Amino acid sequence: MAGSTFGNYFKITTWGESHGKALGVVVDGCPAGIPLTEEDIQKFLDRRKPGQSRYSTPRKEDDRVELLSGVFEGHTTGAPISMIVFNKSQRSADYSEIAGYYRPGHADYTFDLKYGFRDYRGGGRSSARETIGRVAAGAIAVKLLNRLGIDFTTYTQAIGPVSIDPASFDAAQIPLNPLNMPDAAAAERAAAYLDECRSAQDSSGGVVECIVSHMIPGLGDPVFEKLSANLAKAIFSIGAVKSFELGDGLAAARARGSENNDAFRSTEDGIRKATNHSGGTLGGISDGSDLLLRVGIKPTPSIFATQQTVNKSGEPIEINIKGRHDPVVVPRAVVVVEAMTALTIVDALFANMHAKLSSIESFYDRRA
């Protein structure tokens, strides 16, 4: 199946392998008239760049994006926007050995089953480098949403057992620590935990949260194209994601109706919910309160410790994965979660424009 396209209206198609010539994305359905430069995109890509701290891979990935189409005189034209990042640091030699066996926790086995063989250099399409295209496209989506007043706050909520303390939440901290945590003290504890993992030749999972504020209400379409449902898909399409929650999430399942219901009240800005257990949607449609989503990410499967597995012939072997790998991918996943969230919202935003006859009539009014 053609699985490399996301979105119905604002549609992105990513391509490229970690060790091929290049990776990229085509963004189709982008409205004309958005001011856009390579620098706008680069800023987002830099947020997923490895090698920024000792908690991410020491690979040098000087990923420079090039805009190849869809922009003219500094503005989007409505034509598809093609963006490309050439691969520079491909040490395929590191990977030749893994061609013959199946790494636990990786997609080697399933790709071989499905396609009969695989591009074994660094995971091919299941590599985290595939997210370059998502982030480049997400940069445009975020820019568009920012113009409409919508803001994103995305961060590491937990690394392994170390969570942030909600009472110490400080968004300004997010870019100040290499783990992107909004709590400096938690970031230090998490760093210590990661050092411990590294010493043990092990890796850690974690949790990313994304808050979307000043949301436009009415986005999402009953019954299968709920905003919540498309967010779930968007987030679960990111490699390593194992859980997705909206608002109180799993905690709501433990709660009673009287605790979980958000009462409506009148405010100066109109009708609002007094609380936000629902996480920003009702019936899957945005209700104007903040979107709040929580994403559980598994520990990096590439660990330095010896592991049991089999080779392609099914013979049991012991392996030691070499190469350069992140002991934790969570901080780098922050911008990917933000990108996928923004792409989903833009899609719902466009879809909502023809929900009412009166909107269509005023849009196309030709009497004047």
- 289 interacts with a second copy by CB under 8 A: no
Q: Which is nearer to a second copy, 67 or 184 (CB)?
A: 67
CA distance 31 to 216: 18
Q: Does 166 bind a second copy (CB under 8 A)?
A: no
Using the rule CB under 8 A, is 109 a contact of a second copy? yes
How many beta carbons lie within 10 A of that of residue 129, not counting itself? 24
CB of 197 to a second copy, least distance (A): 6
Least separation in angstroms between residue 20's CB and a second copy is 5
State yes or no: residue 366 binds a second copy (CB under 8 A).
yes
Q: What is the 3-state secondary structure (H, E, C) of 270-295?
A: EEEECCCCCCCEECCEECCCCEEEEE
- Binding of residue 168 to a second copy (CB under 8 A): no
Enumerate the β-bridge partners of residue 316. 310
Of 187 and 197, CB closest to a second copy: 197
Check binding of 52 to a second copy (CB under 8 A). Answer: no
Residue count, binding to a second copy (CB under 8 A): 168
Structure-token pair, residue 263: 């009462």
Cβ 242 vs Cβ 297: under 8 Å: yes
Judged by CB under 8 A, does residue 141 bind a second copy? no
| Per-residue x/- track, 213-232, a second copy (CB under 8 A) | ---xxx--xxxxxx-xxxxx
Neighbours of 226 (CB within 10 A): 19
Q: Is there binding between residue 1 and a second copy (CB under 8 A)? A: yes
Touching a second copy, residues 82-101 (CB under 8 A): 82, 84
DSSP secondary structure of 117-140: S---STTGGGSGGGHHHHHHHHHH
63 binds a second copy (CB under 8 A): no
* Other beta carbons within 10 Å of 241: 20
Rounded-to-integer distance, Cα 76 and Cα 344, Å: 20
Minimal distance, residue 325 CB to a second copy, in Å: 10
Q: Considering the rule CB under 8 A, would residue 331 count as an interface residue with a second copy?
A: no
Q: Are 121 and 95 in contact (CB under 8 A)?
A: yes
User: Distance between CA atoms of 43 and 178, rounded to whole angstroms?
Assistant: 16
Question: If binding is defined by CB under 8 A, does position 5 make contact with a second copy?
Answer: yes
Q: Is 74 in the site for a second copy (CB under 8 A)?
A: no
Q: State in Å, rounded, how far the first CA of the chain is from the last one.
A: 48
> At its nearest, how many Å lie between a second copy and the CB of residue 173?
20
User: Per rule CB under 8 A, is residue 122 in the interface with a second copy?
Assistant: no
192 binds a second copy (CB under 8 A): no
Write each residue from 290 to 309 as x if it is in contact with a second copy (CB under 8 A), else as -, in one continuous string.
------xxxxxxxx-x-xxx
d(CA 100, CA 66): 35
Which of the residues 259 through 288 are near a second copy (CB under 8 A)?
259-266, 270-271, 274, 278-279, 281-288
- Cβ distance to a second copy smaller for residue 148 or 172: 148
Tell me how long the chain is: 368
Residue type, 44: F
What is the C-alpha R_g of the chain? 22
Should residue 10 be labelled a site residue for a second copy when binding is judged by CB under 8 A? yes
